[in-house]
A and B are shown apart, each in its own frame.
Chain A
Amino acid sequence: MIYIKNLLKNLGDFSLEDINLDVQDGEYFVLLGPTGAGKSVLIECIAGLHKPEKGEIWINGRNATGLTPEEREVSYVPQDYALFPFLSVKENIEFGMKIKKYSKFEINQGLKKMVNLLEIENITHRNPSTLSGGESQRVAVARALAVKPKLLLLDEPLSALDPRTKQALWIELKRIHRELKVTTIHVTHNFEEAISLGDRIAVMNEGKIVQIGTPGEIFRKPKSMFVAEFVGADNLFKGICTSKIEDETSRVSINGVSMDVFAAAKKDGECYVSIRPEDIVLSKEICKCYADMNMLKGKITEILDKGILIKVVVDAGIQLSVLLTRRACLEKELSKGDSVYVIFKAMDVHLF
């Protein structure tokens, strides 16, 4: 569907380098990265708003590299929505259909469909300047989808919204995508947004794609320190692979603390490990430990209320963060200064 090969775009002090990307038909693809990573520039290149210096962009089996934006059949929703202020909501949605010379009947049908799909029946007569952030967002998406694009590009569509509206629109975007199955590339710097929306995610940093994978892969198996930190891996350590115990299990030493790590690919010498805080169990009593389990003894140094979850920090030679439900925390009667056993599976330790 979308195929990007060796794309290079130089913008003076910033450049996109060696971008290779393959987005499947009907896929909801998320470009994730910090501000200044080049996500917006990349989708602007796909939309035809920037001409790349090198590389190719293929859309729907057609080489679109030299095509102007209007020839690409790609709709684009910028971060600030850019609703035309001199047109009403209805006229905004009709704009593209009129430009593309749809018949009156088609325009009416298209408008009706979009208005129903995005549930904006009550605001069609209004001027964009009177709309709330969430409403503007819906209108911008309606306007973009009304021209039946082959590809929908969303640039940080939710970043300007308050948390509640944002949550509601996550679900909306997912539903709309399910109904229309239009291939979508969504740019965000918010990891939760990426994980809950994306079929696949590409993580970008400093103009490069650093990892592409399903949300699960990005979340559990970050390939670099940058991705691990960006996806909020709390327990991230630099260690040394000391010995290989079995075929697929290695031992890693971090500041003198040893743990077993399940890793198909063998690593020697310096390495990084990460353990998701929710994959760790705390126990006040010593447990019967299986071969594929790690158990470390430590002391609770901090208990932080995170709302739904409680974060417990344990010093076990290394600082480990553990996420527990409020209930689990109460049942175990954990408090600061308590001695606890930190238990996690060798399989839950990600080595890279």
Chain B
Amino acid sequence: MFKGIFGERVFKAATLATLIFFVLFFTGIIISIIFYTNPGEVLKILFSAEVLFAIKLSLITATITAVISIIIGIPAAYAISKTEFRGKSVVDTILDLPIVVSPIALGAALLVFFNTPAGIAIEEHGIKFVFVVSGIILAQFTVVSALFIRLMKSSFDSINPRYEDVARTLGCSKFQAFFKVTLPLAKNGIISAGILTWARAIGEFGATVTLAGATAMKTETLPIAIFLSLATADVEKAMTVILILVCIAMIALIAIRKAVGRGWLI
């Protein structure tokens, strides 16, 4: 089909056309939001107590979620990348589940868990999660931590095991080799996976609304603010918060590009 130079051109045009369609589609959506909002109104809503609260809550919860994901995710990702054990493929599949399963389902599962005797015991004697801020963090963690592990796994996969081998023969214990060689080698991977995880946590809605609820000025993160504004038909406010989210996403993506672009790993 379409042989020779003509074929090459048709192929190039066809693939580029789909790309252009894609880019236009997304820029169109974002531009439509900008057109819909009036700058004066945006500033007023932006500095309203409720939106400032939502921004603050989102930044704090997503940062805590990202930090916990990094602390737990790095050793877990290392284990799945570099250690051979029985049932590894099962573990690998389980790790993919939170990425594939709908967040609202994960939130519902969490809610059900806190109605089991174990869950109730945690709620009564440990930390409360249902319909409170810590629930937001747990919900975000449940949805995004697997993503962090997945990203870190591919980062560790790409690190030549020879570096650790050499470090060991130069006198490093396994721990020293990990901290002094593998972690510095994975630095860019950690930064970009961390930022991506953080950005995904900021945008998390389904699990959060199910476990922590949508209470204004209490468990109101940015996505929940959008939901509440739409529910009350306050479109201006919804659009403003969407713009904030788009800005945060852009900043995160630029930061990742910077972090990765400077480095030598990915």
With beta carbons under 8 angstroms apart, the residue of A70, A82, A95, A149 that contacts B160 is A82
Query: How many contacts A-B (CB < 8 Å)?
Result: 71
- Scoring A76, A129, A149 by chain B CB atoms within 10 A of each residue's CB, the highest score goes to A76
Chain A residue at smallest Cβ distance from B170 = A96
**Neighbouring A residues of B184 by C-beta, 8 Å:** 84, 86
Is the CB–CB distance between B185 and A99 below 8 Å? no
- B162: contacting residue among A70, A82, A129, CB under 8 A: A82
Interface size class of A (residues with CB under 8 A): 20 to 34
Question: Which of A70, A74, A96, A100 has the most B CB atoms < 10 Å from its CB?
Answer: A70
Does B27 count as interface, using CB distance less than 8 angstroms?
no
A82 touches B171 (CB 8 A): no
Whether B169 is near chain A, meaning CB under 8 Å from some CB there, is yes
Q: Are A70 and B185 in contact (CB under 8 A)?
A: no
Contacts of B185 in A (CB 8 A): 84-86
* Minimum CB–CB distance for B208 against chain A, Å: 38
> Which residues of B are found within 8 Å of A69, using beta-carbon distances?
165, 168-169
- Provide the residues of chain A in CB contact with B187, threshold 8 Å: 86
Q: Which residues of A are found within 8 Å of B38, using beta-carbon distances?
A: none
Q: Is the CB of B172 within 8 A of A82?
A: no
- A78 and B162 alpha carbons, distance in the complex (Å): 7
Query: Is there contact, CB below 8 Å, between A70 and B181?
Result: no
CB-based nearest A residue for B185: A86
Q: Which of A44, A86, A99 contacts B170 (CB 8 A)?
A: A99
Contacts of A74 in B (CB 8 A): 169
**Which residues on the A side are within 8 Å of B180 (C-beta)?**
95, 99
Which single residue of chain B is at the shortest CB-CB distance from A155?
B162
Q: Could you tell me the dominant secondary structure of chain B's interface residues?
A: helix
CB distance from A87 to the nearest CB of B (A): 8
Interface size class of B (residues with CB under 8 A): 20 to 34
CA–CA, A99 to B164, complex, Å?
13
* Contact indicator B168/A78 (Cβ below 8 Å): no
Contact between B165 and A49, CB atoms less than 8 A apart:
yes
B interface footprint on A25-51 (CB within 8 Å = 1, 0 otherwise): 000000000000000000010011100
Asked if A80 is at the interface (CB within 8 A of a chain B CB), the reply is: yes
B264 touches A80 (CB 8 A): no
Task: Evaluate contact between B166 and A70: CB separation under 8 angstroms.
Answer: no
A346 at the interface (CB under 8 A from B): no
Q: A47-B165, A76-B166, A82-B162 are in contact. Are A100 and B264 (CB under 8 A)?
A: no
- Complexed CA–CA distance, A80 and B162 (Å): 8
Q: Is B163 an interface position by the 8 A CB rule?
A: yes
Interface set of A (CB-CB < 8 Å, partner B): 44, 47-49, 68-70, 72, 74-78, 80, 82, 84-86, 95-96, 99-100, 129, 143-144, 147, 149, 153
Beyond A76-B166, A95-B180, A143-B166, 16 additional contacts (C-beta under 8 Å) are A47-B169, A68-B173, A70-B168, A74-B169, A75-B170, A77-B166, A80-B160, A80-B162, A82-B165, A84-B163, A85-B185, A96-B170, A99-B171, A99-B172, A99-B176, A100-B170
Q: Which 8 A-B pairs have the closest CB atoms?
A: A96-B170, A69-B168, A82-B162, A99-B171, A76-B169, A86-B184, A100-B171, A78-B162
